[in-house]
Each structure stands twice: as C-alpha cells, then as structure tokens.
Structure 1
Amino acid sequence: MPDTAPQDQDDATPRTSRIQQRNRARILEAALDVFARHGYRGATLDQIAAQAGLSKPNILYYFDGKEAIHVSLLNHLMDTWLAPMREIDPAGDPLDEILRYVHRKLEMSREFPRESRLFANEILQGAPRMRPHLETGLKPLVDRTAAMIEGWMAAGLLARTDPRHLIFSIWATTQHYADFEAQVSVLMDGEDGFEGAARYLDRLYRRMLMP
C-alpha cells in the first residue's frame, strides 16, 4: 500500500517527511536507470516499481505517472548539465577556459552516463518534455557563451571558427563516450577510453583554437 499522508502529531511530520524524501529519491534513481536503458517510450511504471523495490501504487503516491517522473529527472538534469558552461570565466584565459569545459564535459560523460542517455533520448524524440528548458534555459546560455567566444576570437585570443558549431562539436565529442558506451567498449577491447579521449580532445581543440 502507498504511504499515508503525514499525521497531525508534531513528532510524526519529520519522520514521514524523511520517509517521503527517501522514497522519492529511490524512485528517481530507479527511473533514471530504466529510462536510460529503455527510453521514455519503452519504459513502464511496472519496470520502475520493480527497479525501486516498491509497489506501483507506491510510485503513484509520489508521482502522477511516468511523465511526471521523467519531467522531474529532466528538470534536475538540466541544472547539472548546464553548470560547466555557466562556469566558463569571461575573465579567464580563453584557451584554458574552453579546454576546461571540454574536460569537464568528458568527466560528466564518465560520471553520469545514464543522465547523458536520458538527455539524448529526449532530444531524439523531439524534446517534447524539455523544449521549454531548451528555449528559456539552454538557448540564452548558449547565446551568451557564443558571444563571449566570438569576442575572444575578435580580440585574436582564439583562432577564428563558428562559436556555436564549436559548442556543438564539444558536446558531440564528449557525450559520445556516454551515449555510445557499449560501442566504445567493444571497439576499445573493453579498455577505459576516457583517459585516451581526454588527451586526444585536449590536443584536438588546443590545435584548432590556438591563435
């Protein structure tokens, strides 16, 4: 049976709140695994419940349905995913700042492969649940970052290229290692490809952007 709502007793509310927080986190963790493996369309509440070790009514006590869980994950993901771009320092050395961003994005692919696949699956479906974030969160941030990079290039601090395509290229070359993890593992004979990728991408972008 689903958890009951908190009682009116003073000592019941904190305990119930902790239980609710723990169960919500448990559901979201299970859902992240299910969505990353099966995509939104292939995932079911039954799969999420089984992964979480909870009943389906328990899941529906905390969330209205599969879409509500998915949206909650995406909302949290966007904050995490955009943080490295927000951290690019306009006052820093341009090449160092871009390379730091490249390395951080690669680290995130290593640390958060499920989150990367969750994001990729949503975009491949046309971003039906994420489009507001793309329009109001991602686009203004990319616009500001592209303008900053353009300013560095105009000042001769970076080699001239298209700032937006540079950003797209960084996303593609770093997130590939998460989104295509199974393929990378086979082609690398099971070896960890991230250390080699870090060296390769550093050299690639350093040579391309060196003024």
Structure 2
Amino acid sequence: MSDESQARPTRIQQKNRATILEGALTVFSAQGFRGATIDQIAEEAGLSKPNVLYYFASKEEIYRNLLTGLLDMWLDPLRSINPEGEPLDEVHRYVATKLQMSRDYPRESRLFANEVLQGAPLLTEILGGLLREMVDEQAAVFQGWMDQGRLARVDPHHLIFSIWALTQHYADFEAQVRAVLGPGHDPYAEAGVFLDRLYSNLLTVHPDEQG
C-alpha cells in the first residue's frame, strides 16, 4: 500500500470527522467559542471525548476547521457569478442564493457572524487574504458592467456588503424578524420579493443615465 493510500482518511474517519464538526456547529452556534467545551461537542456528536481528540487536537482546531469550511461554502455563490451573464440577472441570482442559504443554514450564518463580531481573531488572515481577493475580483466584474452601462453606478464593494447584510440578517436575527412580522408570514419569501424590487430599482440603468 502506498504512503498516499495510508494517509487518505477512511470512510469511517471521514464520517466521524463530519459528525464531530456537525456537533461542534450546534454547540458553537449556541454557546460561542468561549462557552463551548470538548465535552459538550463530544456529547452532541455522540462520541467519547478521547475519540473527538483523536481527530482534532483541541477545541480551537475544531473551530478553525468549521469556520474555514463555512467561509468556503459562503463564497461559493460569489464565485458562481458569471461575468458573461446578464448583469441584473446575475445580481438577482446571487441575492436569491444568499437568501436561500440564510434560510437553510442559519446556524452557520450566526456562527460566522459571532466570530466577526469578536474581531475575527481566528480568521484574520483568511478575511484579509482569500476573502478580500475574491471580493475584489467580483467587484471588478460589477465595475466592468457599470462602465459598459449595463448596471447603474454604485460602489461595487458596498453593493456586495449590502447583499450580505440584507440576506444574512434574516438568519442572524430570525427570532426578531418573526416576532415583528407575527404569524402567517414567510419572512424569506417576502424578503425575496422585496430584495428583487430593491436591487432592480437600484441597479437598472435609466435612459437619462446612459451615454
């Protein structure tokens, strides 16, 4: 057997790592990094503490792995923006995807938000490196569309920030949103309609702005 084969995790090892990270997501999103313990993570994962520590050397290592994976997932919709697509359609699709992710992954959104609120001590290098490069790249795509007269001129970086804020709010403050709206409302469906109109109004190029 080759060294590469020996180093490759088995299916059981992959499953156990995934189980630990899923349990850690529940614990960290409820308790925060400081309040969480290895014992809580092990209990949530249904594994023994020594078993958890076999796969991850510390609570910090679990947290780093979790946050790095979440950031990669969060960036996927940004990566998928098509520079050759119809600009307004691409923006609407990005907004809709981000809103759907907030609906489907509220724990992940809250965990990431909590880390950033703490000053992102475990993500500083990533935020200032990979994330910054990705945002700069997509901001350049938006700026190109604006220069071509295909989108109304706004600051492309703040356009991206606004999309993050207006979609992830529904996950990070879901209890508040539902309490204010009351029963009988679907916050995410209603938000989708509102955000479509908002960004259409913001980014549609009017005849007097062309040329």
User: Which of 152, 161, 169 is matched with 1:168 structurally?
Assistant: 161
User: Which of 168, 191, 194 is matched with 1:197 structurally?
Assistant: 191
Alignment root-mean-square deviation, CA: 1.6
1:20-169 to 2 correspondences below 5 Å: 20-169=13-162
One-letter code aligned to 1:200:
F
How high is the TM-score relative to the length of structure 1? 0.89
CA distance in 2, matches of 1:162, 1:77: 26
CA distance in 2, matches of 1:18, 1:91: 39
CA distance in 2, matches of 1:83, 1:187: 31
1:94–1:158: 8 Å Cα contact kept in structure 2? yes
Note the C-alpha offset of 1:18. Answer: 2.8
1:34–1:47: 8 Å Cα contact kept in structure 2? yes
- Provide structure 1 residue ranges, at least 5 long, that are not aligned to the other structure: 1-7
1:40–1:121: 8 Å Cα contact kept in structure 2? no
46-55 or 96-105: bigger deviation: 46-55
SS of corresponding position for 1:158: coil
How high is the TM-score relative to the length of structure 2? 0.89
User: Which of 192, 206, 209 is matched with 2:200 structurally?
Assistant: 206
Equivalenced residues, count:
198
47-56 or 98-107: bigger deviation: 47-56
One-letter code aligned to 1:108:
M
One-letter code aligned to 1:100:
R
Note the C-alpha offset of 1:106. Answer: 0.4
Identity of aligned residues (%): 59
- Provide structure 2 residue ranges, at least 5 long, that are not aligned to the other structure: 206-211
Note the C-alpha offset of 1:74. Answer: 1.3
CA distance in 2, matches of 1:91, 1:20: 41
One-letter code aligned to 1:57:
P
CA distance in 2, matches of 1:82, 1:136: 13
Note the C-alpha offset of 1:156. Answer: 1.2
